[in-house]
Structure 1
Amino acid sequence: MSTTDPVQGTTRRPSRQRSAVLALLADLDGFRSAQELHALLRERGDTVGLATVYRALQALVDDGHLDVLRSAEGEASYRRCSPVHHHHLVCRGCGTTAEVADPPVERWAARVAAEHGFVDVQHQVEVFGTCASCRTG
């Protein structure tokens, strides 16, 4: 499956590294950092460099295959995502993540953009809290 690189407008051919990252993420729940994914790939016997993992992750994000979250410290974490627009509810304790759709948020974003004369608007909403397991554990 070839995809078009949105920055360069060129067709991006699938690579072994992107396929390995996607296959690994298909086996995992929750978000993982590039360093965690790199270590897991090496445990599986895949000799891919950390810089290559970062490039593969960015390409997969650009192509819409992965979600990315940034922690308060700025570290990016990745996971496979559903192809429809959604937001995330993330546990601060264990990292459990739920995809949520919220039509009122979509209407609010459209209204605020229109009020300020913005068009071609995109948004990302991440809600952080404590899940029931962490709250009681």
Structure 2
Amino acid sequence: MTKQRAAIVEVLAEGGFRSAQDWHDLLRHDGSPIGLATVYRALQALAETGEVDSVLTDTGETLYRRCDSATSHHHHLRCRECGAAEDVDIPTFEAWATEVAAKHGYAHIEHTVEFTGVCKNCVQRGR
């Protein structure tokens, strides 16, 4: 692991979903000379290994966070206002997806499910 990647993994402990630019800004604020392109590459590589979760926003921006789930495959419930997120387990969805794929002759399917809404803290703040 390079120094740059170690710095990124460390800052990911801040939590929450953030853009590569936001993670880069945090690193720079902490005094790191790391470049934005390096942050993008590292986040993409970490996402491919399952160490980082990534989600796509309504505007097409990719957000990243450290993956806290013990399993490699999971889904998210994410607040559109503050970015808070929770991993959610949906066993009935997994069974349904497998059934639909098999019905159409597909195997080894992959999918991404993300629910967005407004968390209870943001609702209480009137967001």
Q: Which residue, out of 55, 63, 69, partners 1:77?
A: 63
Report whether the alignment pairs 1:124 with 2:98. no
Does 2:9 correspond to 1:18? no
Shift of 1:93: 1.4
Q: Is the 8 A contact 2:52 2:64 kept in 1?
A: yes
| Mapped partners of 1:89, 1:105: distance in 2 | 14
CA displacement at 1:62 relative to structure 2: 0.9
Aligned pair partner of 1:50 in 36, 39, 57 = 36
CA RMSD of aligned residues (A): 1.0
In structure 2, the partner of 1:90 is: 78
Indicate the residue corresponding to 1:6 in structure 2: none
Q: Distance in 1 between matches of 2:70 and 2:46?
A: 12
Amino acid at match of 2:63: S
What secondary structure is seen at the aligned counterpart in 2 of 1:18? helix
**Match among 99, 102, 115 for residue 103 of structure 2:** 115
Name the CA distance, whole Å, in 2 between partners of 1:118 and 1:19.
Answer: 39
Distance in structure 2 (CA, Å) of the matches to 1:76 and 1:83: 22
The share of aligned pairs that are identical, in percent, is: 50
Show structure 1 runs of 4+ deviating over 4 A: none
1:32 aligns with 2:32: no
How many residues matched? 123
Distance 1:113 1:106 in 2: 11
